[in-house]
Amino acid sequence: MSTSPKNPETPRAAAAQRPTRADDARPQVRPKPEGWKQPMGPDGRPQLQFAQSARVTQPPKHLADMSLEERIARAKELGYPGFRAKQLSVHYFQHYTSDPSEMTDLPAATREAMVSEFLPPLLTEVRRLRTDDGATIKFLWRLFDGALVESVLMRYRNRITLCISSQCGCGMNCPFCATGQNGLTRNMSTAEIVDQIVQANRAIAAGELDAPSAAEIAEERDHAGLGEETDFAEEGPEPAAGGTQRTGPQRVSNIVFMGMGEPLANYKRVMNAVHRMIDDAPEGLGMSARGITISTVGLVPAIRKLADEDLPITFALSLHAPDDELRDELIPVNSRWKADEAIDAAYYYYETTGRRVSIEYALIKDMNDHGWRADLLADKLNARGRGWVHVNPIPLNPTPGSIWTSSEPEVMQEFIARLEAKGVPTTLRDTRGKEIDGACGQLAAAED
Ligand code: SAH
């Protein structure tokens, strides 16, 4: 369109966006759950669970739940010298071990007792699936109460990304995402969130994550687009052609909160976990905040609170539709906070932190992939400013033949071209791990 409306937020302006190009003549498929029954609330709308039930118990307290100061205080309380807390922290955050037999700097007589006090087992490995020639590993973990969660580890050329879970299940009830289909079981504790990283680091240190193939390196358009290159000293030389050497960082460098759960619905524990990630070793993992991405369905007050933390973490909003008419059905939480409020909050995040934000947009055939929606999205983003945002469309991880099918390649190209024509930087993301149900929206944590 040559002239963009002054106020693209009004429904009339939205309607005026609908041009008559061929791709806009395609049908409008409505979101509806397939193969499962979406729980409805008393208001007849999809049920939302913002909090866990009051009856759930949390796992035993672990060193990673506490700051170093708190660990020292706890050690003293138990009758140990305060510096034991630091030694235990080195074992956990720098050597990735919770095994007392490896802790020869601790007195043999009290080692076991200290370890069971500070490093109770949190994540028990149930299963591990490898794909992409060993460059992607999906872990299935059992928690102390039997709850199951997953994390996905991906090695790229210059980074290692771990996609982590923040809740057991999810209460946001999005009809296209496998995780929400069983509702929310409970929030994960800070240490359960962090332990996913420590365990992944342990696997990497044991040489279990292979280098990506040359073909994958050539296609690096995936999660790697989120977050930034981190300034890790461990980075090695470029891989040789064929790329089978293990080069690059030797531990997790990037985190995406895109596993199971809605991170901003478990705000306190997630933020505490972020602190453990960025605290200097041995208080924490000493990771770069820039390499951490928090993705949300759009809990507006929590987005603003996150912005006010003023940490240079990367923020991603799962928008998936620029118009409320569709987003109301696609993202049930849109009944609370509308698309424009979510975009305003994302803009506030940018204004406050100076960090460019990402808009995630799963392209779903004939549902949200119409050209007019790309135009409307671009206008809404541009109405707030320029250079503050980029769009990450991602082909829906499909169930072929269902209403939840990925857009056709030429439709995706047109969608991207329309955003770019209006000056919105856009990168198509492809996901790793589809063959092992490890890709976005496929994490359901069933044991078989
Ligand atoms: N609850 C958070 C983070 C978890 S999901 C959020 O909603 O952002 C991470 C991303 O995967 C989100 O953008 C989510 O919308 C997307 N996603 C969910 N199901 C998907 C599917 N079937 N195909 C592609 N992306 C999907």
With a 6 A CB cut-off, is 319 part of the ligand 1 pocket? no
pLDDT of residue 178: 86
Q: What is the pLDDT of residue 231?
A: 38
pLDDT above 70: residue 6: no
- Ligand 1 pocket test: pick from 226, 295, 333 the residue with the most ligand atoms within 8 Å of its Cβ: 295
Question: Which of 117, 150, 262, 414 does the annotation list as catalytic?
Answer: 150
Residue 83 pLDDT: 97
Q: What is the mean pLDDT of residues 129-143?
A: 92
Q: Is 394 in the pocket of ligand 1 (CB under 6 A)?
A: yes
Digit-coded pLDDT (tens) for 149-161: 999 999 998 999 9
Return the biggest CA–CA distance within the chain.
78
Q: Which of 163, 174, 177, 440 is catalytic?
A: 440
- Phi, psi (deg, nearest 5) at residue 377: -60, -50
Which H or E element spans position 314? strand 314-318
Ligand 1 pocket member 297 (CB < 6 A): yes
The better pLDDT of the pair 264, 220 is held by: 264
In what side-by-side order are the strands of the sheet with 254-257?
A: 124-131, 136-142, 148-155, 160-163, 254-257, 292-296, 314-318, 357-363, 389-395
Rg of the chain (C-alpha set): 22
Interval between CA 179 and ligand 1 midpoint (Å): 9
Q: Does residue 241 surpass a pLDDT of 70?
A: no
Return the pLDDT at 222. Answer: 47
**Measured in angstroms, how far is the CA atom of residue 12 from the centroid of ligand 1?**
30
Confirm or reject: Cβ of 318 under 6 Å from ligand 1.
Answer: yes
Cα–Cα dist 14/162, whole Å: 38
Give dist(CA 44, CA 41) in Å, integer.
5
Pocket test for ligand 1, best of 187, 318, 330 (most atoms within 8 A of CB): 318
Q: Is 440 in the pocket of ligand 1 (CB under 6 A)?
A: yes
Encode pLDDT of 329-340 as tens digits. 999 999 999 999
CB neighbours of residue 144 within 10 Å: 16
pTM: 0.90
Give me ligand 1 centre to Cα 432, in Å: 14
Q: Is residue 181 lining ligand 1, measured as CB closer than 6 Å?
A: no
Measured distance CA(403)–CA(383) in Å, rounded: 32
Question: How many whole angstroms separate alpha carbon 403 and alpha carbon 410?
Answer: 18
Ligand 1 atom closest to 170 (CA): 1
* Distance from Cα 258 to the centre of ligand 1, integer Å: 7
State what percent of residues in the chain have pLDDT above 90. 75
Measured between alpha carbons, how far is 253 from 289 in angstroms, rounded to an integer? 10
What does the pLDDT read at residue 224? Answer: 41
Q: How far is the CA of 397 from the centre of ligand 1 (A)?
A: 10
Is residue 240 pLDDT above 90, yes or no?
no
**E strand or H helix at 184:** strand 184-187
Task: Give the closest residue (by CA) to ligand 1 atom 25.
Answer: 440
CA of 77 to the centre of ligand 1 (A): 43
Evaluate: CB of 360 within 6 angstroms of ligand 1: yes
> What's the pLDDT score for residue 220?
63
Q: Ligand 1: which atom is nearest the Cα of residue 360?
A: 13
* Closest residue by CA, ligand 1 atom 7: 297
Structure tokens, 157: 């050329």
Average pLDDT over residues 249-253: 92
Mean pLDDT throughout 285-311? 97
Coil vs helix vs strand at 349: helix
Q: How far is the CA of 23 from the centre of ligand 1 (A)?
A: 25
Substitution site in 163, 168, 177 for ligand 1 pocket (most atoms within 8 Å of beta carbon): 177
Q: Report the chain's mean pLDDT, rounded to a whole number.
A: 88
The crossing angle, in degrees rounded to 10, of helices 409-421 and 371-384 is 30
CB burial of 278-298 (b: ≥16 within 10 Å; e: otherwise) equals bbeebbbbebbbbbbbbbbbb
What is the mean pLDDT of the segment spanning 406-421? 96
| Closest-CA residue to 428 (of 230, 219, 157) | 219
d(CA 354, CA 127): 40
Look at residue 354 and tell me whether its pLDDT is greater than 60: yes
Q: Which is more confidently placed, 157 or 365?
A: 365
pLDDT tier at 20, thresholds 50, 70, 90? very low
pLDDT at 243: 42
Residue 312: partners with Cβ closer than 8 Å, 6 or more residues away? 289, 290, 353, 354, 355
Cα 2 to its chain centre, rounded Å, is 37
pLDDT on residue 182: 84
Query: β-strands 148-155, 160-163: how paired?
Result: antiparallel
Evaluate if residue 173 carries a pLDDT over 70: yes
- What pLDDT digit, counting tens, does each position of 176-202 carry? 988 888 899 999 999 999 999 999 999
> Residue with the nearest Cα to atom 18 of ligand 1?
441
- Which atom in ligand 1 lies closest to the alpha carbon of residue 318? 13
* pLDDT value for 343: 98
The mean pLDDT of 390-417, rounded to a whole number, is: 92
The verdict on whether 440 is a catalytic residue reads: yes
For residue 413, the SS3 value is helix
CA of 17 to the centre of ligand 1 (A): 27
How many separate helices (H) and strands (E) can be counted in the chain?
A: 12, 11
- Is the minimum distance from the CB of 396 to ligand 1 under 6 angstroms? yes
Residue nearest (by alpha carbon) to ligand 1 atom 13: 318
How far apart are the CA of 80 and the centre of ligand 1, in A? 45
> What is the arithmetic mean of pLDDT over 356-380?
97
Q: Is the pLDDT of residue 145 over 60?
A: yes
**pLDDT digits 0-9 by tens, 54-109:** 899 999 999 999 999 999 999 999 999 999 999 999 999 999 999 999 999 999 99
Residue 225: per-residue pLDDT: 46
The predicted structure's pLDDT at residue 24? 62
Please give the pLDDT value at position 448: 61
